[in-house]
A and B are shown apart, each in its own frame.
Chain A
Amino acid sequence: MNKTFNNRAWFLVIPVFLMVAFNALIPLMTVVNYSVQESFVANEYFWSGIRWFGELLRNPDFQSSLWRQVIFTGVVLLIQIPLGLGIALCMPKSGPWVSVCLVLMALPLLIPWNVVGSMWNIMALPDIGLLGKGLNSLGIPYNYTRQPAAAWFTVVLMDVWHWTSLVVLLCYAGLVSIPDAYYQAAKIDGAKPWAVFRYIQLPKLKHVLTIAILLRFMDSFMIYTEVIVLTGGGPGSTTKFLSIDLVQKALGGFDLGPAAAFSIVYFLIILALSWLFYTLMMQSETK
């Protein structure tokens, strides 16, 4: 598209700018403001510089939450991306069943997150839930309210159930856009199915996979509702991820300074890692 240079286009953009600025800049400024101040008495603030940031980064609680978050996101990405891609590869290219499959797969994506948490909460109950009772009757001692391992297992399983379809839908869209001629040429060249995947499908899915990985990384790093409803962060604080930790501190009513510092560090981590992912994936692209 040959775009013309015209600064009057700003008029078209003003509504969006105002709306997002209202929601983003004002709160962020408030947060930054709090993060560098300290108050001993209500309504009296003193400049404290980077004190909160330093304390935060040295705080073992924060470090544990961060560590848990990193592991959770890592595990979830490792499962959802290959699984989503695999399922997309199993989908038929066309025909009446395609819509049916897509609609059924999209359903988990549209369930309010607290309902997702509740569903799994009840389903995993050891005595009366489908999952809980099922596992226990197989002889596996399973109680996610008491055992950290069981809690992690349930949280990961829930997230896989919830979000894999997003990856499937993205990958499917990418697969469907590969012209038939590539597959025909591969047939003529005598290529085996694995070669077709490695040399045709995977390269052509690069763009879509980047989007999928970025989205899942960001969203899993911010996860809150489903986990809080399922485990409340427990047992103890074994499933307390970053968002949960932050909300506890922010709404706990105590000093706003540390919570604000937490917020900023949190946001920066996501931005930095997203930028890193994006650059890494784009680097190997020669266009």
Chain B
Amino acid sequence: MAKITLQNLRQSYYPNPSKDEDYALKRVHLDWEDGGAYALLGPSGCGKTTLLNLISGLLVPTEGKILFDGKDVSHASPEQRNIAQVFQFPVIYDTMTVYDNLAFPLRNRGVAEAEIDKRVKDIAEMLDLSKTLKNRASGLTADGKQKISLGRGLVRSDVNVIMFDEPLTVIDPHLKWQLRSKLKELHQRIRRTMIYVTHDQTEALTFADQVVVMNNGEVVQTGTPIDLFEQPRHTFVGHFIGSPGMNVLPCEVKGGKASFAGNSVAAANAAQAAGKAARVELGVRPEFVSIAKSGIAADVVKVTDAGRYRIIETKVSGHSIKLLVPEGDAVPEGRIHLNFDPAHTQVYEDGWMAGARPGEPS
């Protein structure tokens, strides 16, 4: 188990990178505490798999350092770093039995057979694989095989960190939540550092204590799921997390006060707006927009039923604003008035929350 530090990490797949675009990872500077459950969340191509492979040692960093418990492991092999990785599709040794699959990493390290037997049986019990130990690994279902992949990482008692690269991709939807709960349960039990990479916000938000949101090779925000939801530091986080995503509207800030479409809007951080940005926007989640007797005048355009609530899409001066009303409430029509909850309304300058320093997410 180890604390992992990423110092000024930059990664490029080109031999001679010159400009920012050549870098898959532009700059990552992060700490991962020992024993935590982390998620790396971001859209395809944002660099999360690159980051994962850098931590596991399958890639050597172009610039910067990786430290395990203060020791520089940037050039150490995966074996030396003592990590485990579960891939997008189950990676198992088809010709071996489940038992032999789990025993494989220990046998390669010369562990005594008696010890191996104990560890394998322990892990199999933890993962509900005990009944299948004697079977050929290739005969299991996809989720069984992923458990074997996971098991191979867990058998080694000295594993520093376990990494998951979108592990539920090939699992049947109705089994996904089962496996997810299992992972969470495992983490509570063994308290090893786990890093879970995904583009699915549900997976990330349910598994992790801390979520690292990435976009375009940079870390945009780190925080608990609640933090990310309530205080998105970047409009991207606002868009990406939450369904539907945050409403982002162009606004003006004058004298510490924000205004949108001619209406004055109370925003939590309006006073901190530096005023030098090219693009000034207002962000408020649909959950925090409510219908009031007076406020911003809006025309209802569409009402979508999402089960336990309804999504109401309105238009104000050509801009779309979404809000949620609980099931059972009257469905508004025509012209209504909207109110933004001031505590959850933020001003964003060039995408970043006003008052927060970009590049130092925390």
Contact = CB atoms under 8 A, between A and B. Distances in A.
Interface of A: 179, 181-182, 184-185, 187-192, 195, 199-200, 203-204, 286-287
Interface in B71-114: 77-79, 83-85, 87-89, 91, 93-96, 104-105, 108-109
Interface of A (DSSP majority class)? helix
A227 to B, nearest CB: 39
A189 B94 CA distance: 15
A184 B152 CA distance: 13
B105 A189 contact: yes
Given A185-B87, A191-B108, 13 more contacts: A181-B89, A182-B91, A185-B85, A185-B91, A185-B149, A187-B78, A188-B83, A188-B85, A189-B105, A190-B105, A190-B108, A195-B108, A204-B94
A183 to B, nearest CB: 9
B183 to A, nearest CB: 18
A203 B85 contact: no
A187 B58 contact: yes
A192 B108 contact: yes
B326 interface: no
A92 to B, nearest CB: 17
B88 A181 contact: yes
A258 B91 CA distance: 57
A184 B58 contact: yes
A179 B152 CA distance: 19
B79 A190 contact: yes
A192 B96 CA distance: 16
A184 B87 CA distance: 9
Contacts of B84: 188
B139 A286 contact: yes
Interface of B: 56, 58, 77-79, 83-85, 87-89, 91, 93-96, 104-105, 108-109, 136, 138-139, 149, 152-153
Contacts of B83: 188
A93 to B, nearest CB: 15
Contacts of B85: 184-185, 188
Residue among A179, A185, A286 with max Cβ neighbours from chain B (10 Å): A185
A191 B91 CA distance: 14
Nearest to A184: B58
Given A181-B87, A181-B88, A195-B108, A187 B79 contact: yes
Contact of B109 (A179, A190, A195, A204): A190
A181 B78 contact: no
Contacts of A286: 136, 138-139
B160 to A, nearest CB: 12
A188 B89 contact: no
Contacts of B153: 188
A179 B169 CA distance: 16
Contacts of A203: 93-95
B169 to A, nearest CB: 12
A287 B88 CA distance: 21
Contacts of B152: 185, 189
Contacts of B88: 181
Nearest to B153: A188
A199 B105 CA distance: 13
Contacts of A195: 108
A195 B310 CA distance: 57
Given A181-B88, A191-B104, A199 B96 contact: yes
B196 to A, nearest CB: 17
A102 to B, nearest CB: 24
A100 to B, nearest CB: 21
Contacts of B56: 188
Report, nearest first, the 8 A-B pairs whose CB atoms are least far apart: A190-B108, A181-B87, A185-B91, A189-B105, A199-B93, A188-B78, A190-B79, A203-B95
A253 B275 CA distance: 103
A199 B78 contact: no
Contact of B77 (A185, A187, A204): A187
29 contacts: A181-B89, A182-B91, A184-B78, A184-B85, A185-B85, A185-B87, A187-B77, A187-B78, A188-B78, A188-B79, A188-B84, A188-B85, A188-B153, A189-B104, A189-B108, A189-B152, A190-B79, A190-B105, A190-B109, A191-B108, A192-B108, A195-B108, A199-B95, A199-B96, A200-B93, A203-B94, A204-B94, A286-B136, A286-B139
A8 B162 CA distance: 57
Contacts of A181: 87-89, 91
B105 to A, nearest CB: 4
